Amino acid sequence: MGANKADAFVDITDVKCPVTFVKAKVAIEELEDGQLLEIRMNDGEPVQNVPRSLKDEGHKVLNVDNNGDGTYAVLVEKGGLE
């Protein structure tokens, strides 16, 4: 996690596209602008697509950490690009 402290966490490794992004979107909609969400996602299609989709919706991807177990921890700031 580094220095950033997430306000919420969601694990989207238990669902497949497009529910991966949907689940992340549901989690981020519950936050206020400027709050941080940590998302645990699988390597491959999710890590390639979900951060990009979040950027398209105006959220800022602050950090992507490889957890070393086939998953990534992605830290996103709600509305950080708006």
Partner 1 sequence: MKYSNEQLERYSRHIILKNVGVKGQEKLLGAKVLIVGTGGLGAPAAMYLAAAGIGTIGLVDFDRVELSNLQRQIIHSTKDIGKPKAISGQETIHAINPDVTVITYQEWINSQNITDIIEDRNYDFIIDGTDNFPAKFLINDACVLTGKPFSHAGIIRFEGQTMTYVPGKGPCYRCVFKDPPPPEAVPSCKQAGVLGVMGGIIGTVQATEALKYVLGIGQLLNGYLLTFDALEMNFRKVKLSQNRNCRICGDNPTIRELIDYEQQVCELKQH
Residues annotated catalytic, as ranges: 17
Handedness of CA 31, 11, 72, 6 (dihedral sign): positive
- Cβ neighbors of 34 (< 8 A, separation 6 or more) are 77, 78, 79, 80
Which of the residues 52 through 81 are near partner 1 (CB under 8 A)?
57
Q: Which stretch binds partner 1 (CB under 8 A): 10-18, 42-50, 60-68, 69-77?
A: 10-18
From the list 26, 45, 48, 70, which residue makes contact with partner 1 (rule: CB under 8 A)?
Answer: 26
Provide the token pair at 47: 């890590």
Which of the residues 29 through 48 are near partner 1 (CB under 8 A)?
29
Shortest reach from residue 1's CB to partner 1, in Å: 25
CA distances from 53 to 3, 18, 67, 68 (A): 25, 11, 21, 23
Binding site for partner 1 (CB under 8 A): 14-15, 18-19, 21-23, 25-26, 29, 57
